[in-house]
Amino acid sequence: MKITIGMKLTMGFMVILIMMGAMGIVAYSSLKDIKGDADKILLYSHKFEMVNGLKQMLSVFLNLNDSLLTGHLQSRDYYNSLNLDIEKRLLYVGKLRLNENELSLIKGLEKKFILIKEKSEKYLKLPNPGEDTKTDDLIGEINMAKWVIINKISGLYEEGWRSLDEAVIMAHETEKKGWLTIRVISAIAIILGLSIGILLTRTIGKPIKSLTSITKIIAKGDLNQRIETRSRDEIGELVSSFNTMIKDLRESRERAEQRDRELKETQAKLIQSEKLASMGHMAAGIGHELKNTLGVIKNAAYYIKSRIGDDSRLNRHISIIERELTSSDRIINDLFNFSKPIELNLTLIDINKVIEEALYITEVTSKVRTTKELDPQLPKTIADGEHIRRVFINIILNAYQAMPDGGELRITSRGEDGFIKVGFTDTGIGISEENLRRLFEPFFTTKIKGIGLGLTVSRRMIEGHRGRIEVRSEIRKGTTFTIILPVAYNESLIHYKHGVGTNKKGSEINILLVDDQVGMLETLGDILKERGYNITMANDGSEALERAKETQFSLALIDIKLPGINGVETFKEIKKINPAIAVIMMTAYSVDELMRESIAEGAYASIYKPFDPEKILKIIEDAIEKRPKPAGDYHG
C-alpha cells in the first residue's frame, strides 16, 4: 500500500496523541494512587490519634483506680466522668476501619476495662477492705487486668503507628513511581517526535531540494537530468512525474529536431496527414484507456494463476487482485451508469428467474442463511433483465455486508394490485434514521469500500422502469428493501431513456452564474446545462453587470463574496437592469448580515455551500416557476 505524506503526518500526529494520552493516563493513575495513599494516611493518622488519646485516658484511669482502692481518692466525680469518656472512646475506636488484630485488641481492652470497674466496685463493698481474705484475690484480679490493659493498649498503639508509617512509605513510593513513569513516557515522546520530524524532513525536504536544483539546470537547456528517489508518497509521484516530464521534453525536442530535418525533405501535406493520424490514434486510445488497463491486469492475473499451480499463498494474492479488479470495474460501471442516461433493453422477463440468477452470480458467505419465498404464479413483466439483475445483486451484496457475524437473508416475490413486489430482508446491523434519509444520495456511503453510487444507480434503473424502491430498517434488527415494478405492459417503455433529468423547457431559460471560483462555475454550470438551461458565467460583479446588460436572464445565482463589487451590490445593480429576474444568493461563509440584506432586497433564497445539487435544482425550478419562497435560509 502506498503511504502518502498525509498518512505519514497523520500517523506522526496519532503517535504524539497516543503518547500524550498515555502520559495523561499515567498522571491520572498516579494522582489517583497518591490520593488513595493520602486518604489512608488521614485514616491511619486519625486512628492513631484516637488510640493515643485512649492510651492516655486509660493511664489516668489506672492511676485513679489505684487511688480509689487505697482510699486516697477524694472525689469520684472525675473518676466516673473519665469512665464514661473511656467507654465512648472505646466505642468510637471500635467503629473505625480496624484489622483483625486491632479489633481483637480493642475488644480485649473493653473487656478488661469492664472487669476492673466491676471488681473495684465489689472490692469497695467489702465490710473491711484490706482485712478480708477475699481482698487479696480481688486485688490480684484487678492488677492482672490492669497489666493486660497496659499490654493491649501498647500493642494497639504500636499497631496504629506501624500502619501510619507503612502508609507514609507507600505514598512516597507511589509518588516516585509516578514521576519515573511520566519521565520515561516523556522521553519516549520526545524521541519519537524528533524521529518523526527528522523522517519527514528527509522524505520531503531532500527530494524538493533536489527538484529545485535540477529545475535550475533544466532551465538552462540541459535535459539530461534525473532525480533518484525511493519515496512512494506524493513527493515520489511528483519526482516520478518530473522525471517523465524531462524524458518527454527530451524526446519531444529530439522528435522536433527530427521533424525539422524531415520538413526539409518531405512535403507539408504529408507531415500534416501524419500528425492527424497520430492524433486520431491517441484519441481512440484514451477513450478506453482505463478499461483496457483493467483488462490487461485481469488477463495477467489469470495467466499467472494458471501458471503457479497449487501454491495457496500465491493463489490467495491472485484472488485478492481479481476481487479488487471486480470491485474497481463495478465502481467504474457505477460512474458510467451515473454519468450517462440509462438505456433500457426491454423484454418479457421472469422476475423469479432473475432472482435465481442474481443469487447464483453473488458469492454467498457461509455465515449467512438465504431463504426464498417466491410466488410460482408471479406474472412476467416487460423490463431490462440485465439492469434488474444488477439491482438485485447490489442489494444482496449490501445485505451480506450488513451481516458480518452471520444472519439470514429472506427473499420474497409476490404480485399485488398490478405490481410485482420483490423483498430483501436481512437480520443485519440496520441503518440509522439519519443515514436512511441519505441512502440514495450520490457518493454517500458508510462502507470502507465503494464510492456510494450503487443504490443511486439502482434507484435510477428501477425508476426507469416506472417502479420504485422502498426501504425500512431498525438498528440491530435488520433492513428490508422492496423493489416495486409494474406488471402491465407499457409500450412507451420500449424506447424509454432515463437520464439525469434534462428539462426540455430549460432550453428557453437563461441563467447567470456568478462566482469567483472556477471550479464552482464549471461544475454547477455543467449540471445546469445538463438540465437544458442556457448558462452564462461571470467571475466577478463587474463582468456580471456587463452580461446582464447583454442578455435577458430569468434567474441569477450570485456568490456573496466576490472580488471588487460584493454579491449583494451586484444583485442590487442587476435588479435595476432587470427587475423581473429571480436571484439566489450563495456563500460558503457565515455572513449573516449580507445574507439578511440580500433577502431584504428581494432575493428569492439564500443557500450555503456545499449544497445538494438535486436540492438546488429544485429551488431553481421553484424560482423560475414563481412558486412561494422557501422559509428562512437554505442550508445545502
pLDDT digit string (tens) for 420-444?
Answer: 999 999 999 999 988 888 888 888 8
Residue 33 is predicted with a pLDDT of 72
Q: Number of folded domains in the chain?
A: 4
Determine, yes or no, domain membership for 515. Answer: yes
- If one compares 392 and 628, the residue with the highest pLDDT of the two is 392
State whether 533 and 488 are in the same domain: no
Residue 268 is predicted with a pLDDT of 53
State whether 515 and 452 are in the same domain: no
Determine, yes or no, domain membership for 75. Answer: yes
Reported as a pLDDT band with limits 50, 70 and 90, residue 414 is very high
- Which of 482, 498, 514 is the last residue before a domain boundary? 498
Q: Can you give the CATH number for the domain in which 380 is found? A: 3.30.565.10
Classify 499 as helix, strand or coil: coil
Beta-carbon contacts of 421 under 8 Å, excluding residues fewer than 6 positions away, are: 412, 413, 414, 415, 482, 483, 484
- Which of 498, 526, 552 is the last residue before a domain boundary? 498
Determine, yes or no, domain membership for 293. Answer: no
- If one compares 231 and 458, the residue with the highest pLDDT of the two is 458
CA dihedral in degrees (328, 333, 336, 339; nearest 10)? -90
Reported as a pLDDT band with limits 50, 70 and 90, residue 557 is very high
Reported as a pLDDT band with limits 50, 70 and 90, residue 20 is confident
pLDDT at 92 over 50: yes
Rounded mean pLDDT, 23-35: 72
pLDDT at 374 over 90: yes
Percent of the chain, pLDDT > 70? 78
Residue 230 is predicted with a pLDDT of 67
pLDDT at 487 over 90: no
Residue 338 is predicted with a pLDDT of 65
Residue 495 is predicted with a pLDDT of 39
- Which of 462, 479, 498 is the last residue before a domain boundary? 498
Determine, yes or no, domain membership for 216. Answer: no
State whether 564 and 604 are in the same domain: yes
The DSSP line for 156-193 is: HHHHHHHHHHHHHHHHHHHHHHHHHHHHHHHHHHHHHH
pLDDT (tens digit per residue) in 377-388: 999 999 998 899
Q: Are strands 605-608 and 634-635 parallel, antiparallel or unpaired?
A: parallel
Determine, yes or no, domain membership for 212. Answer: no
Residue 88 is predicted with a pLDDT of 82
Residue 445 is predicted with a pLDDT of 81
Closest CA to 374 of 359, 364, 363, 390: 359
Most confident region among 3-7, 329-333, 366-370, 524-528 by mean pLDDT: 366-370
State whether 53 and 128 are in the same domain: yes
pLDDT at 504 over 70: no
State whether 480 and 512 are in the same domain: no
pLDDT at 286 over 50: no
**Chain centroid to CA 225: how far?**
45
Residue 548 is predicted with a pLDDT of 92
- If one compares 172 and 134, the residue with the highest pLDDT of the two is 172
Determine, yes or no, domain membership for 369. Answer: yes
State whether 517 and 461 are in the same domain: no
Reported as a pLDDT band with limits 50, 70 and 90, residue 349 is very high
pLDDT at 101 over 90: no
CB atoms within 10 A of CB 306: 9
Most confident region among 383-392, 491-500, 617-626 by mean pLDDT: 383-392
State whether 512 and 491 are in the same domain: no
Residue 617 is predicted with a pLDDT of 84
Rounded mean pLDDT, 187-195: 82
Q: Can you give the CATH number for the domain in which 512 is found? A: 3.40.50.2300
Rounded mean pLDDT, 324-342: 65
Determine, yes or no, domain membership for 219. Answer: no
Classify 579 as helix, strand or coil: coil
Counts for the chain of helices (H) and strands (E), in that order: 18, 15
From 91-100, 252-261, 557-566, 584-593, the region with the lowest mean pLDDT: 584-593
pLDDT at 288 over 60: no
State whether 480 and 572 are in the same domain: no
Mean of the per-residue pLDDT values for the chain?
Answer: 77
pLDDT at 400 over 50: yes
Residue 284 is predicted with a pLDDT of 32
pLDDT at 470 over 90: yes
Q: What is the 3-state secondary structure (H, E, C) of 214-280?
A: HHHHHHCCCCCCCCCCCCCCHHHHHHHHHHHHHHHHHHHHHHHHHHHHHHCCCCHHHHHHHHHHHHH
Asked if the bond preceding 610 is cis, omega within 30° of 0, the reply is yes
Classify 207 as helix, strand or coil: helix
Which grid cell sits at 254?
Answer: 529530439
pTM, rounded to two decimals = 0.35
State whether 489 and 514 are in the same domain: no
The DSSP line for 77-118 is: HHHHHHHHHHHHHHHHHHHS---HHHHHHHHHHHHHHHHHHH
Q: Can you give the CATH number for the domain in which 129 is found? A: 1.20.1440.210
State whether 248 and 168 are in the same domain: no
Rounded distance, CA 411 to CA 480, Å? 10
State whether 175 and 238 are in the same domain: no
Q: How many CA atoms lie within 13 A of 277 on its CB side?
A: 6
State whether 160 and 135 are in the same domain: yes
Phi, psi of 194 (to 5 degrees): -65, -40
Residue 279 is predicted with a pLDDT of 32
Residue 427 is predicted with a pLDDT of 94
Determine, yes or no, domain membership for 574. Answer: yes
From 38-42, 64-68, 266-270, 325-329, the region with the lowest mean pLDDT: 266-270
Residue 294 is predicted with a pLDDT of 65
Residue 296 is predicted with a pLDDT of 60
- If one compares 625 and 620, the residue with the highest pLDDT of the two is 620
Residue 425 is predicted with a pLDDT of 96
Reported as a pLDDT band with limits 50, 70 and 90, residue 120 is confident
Most confident region among 5-14, 25-34, 39-48, 177-186 by mean pLDDT: 177-186
Domain that holds residue 580: 504-635
Residue 494 is predicted with a pLDDT of 42
Which grid cell sits at 96?
Answer: 473505625
Q: Are strands 407-416 and 419-426 parallel, antiparallel or unpaired?
A: antiparallel
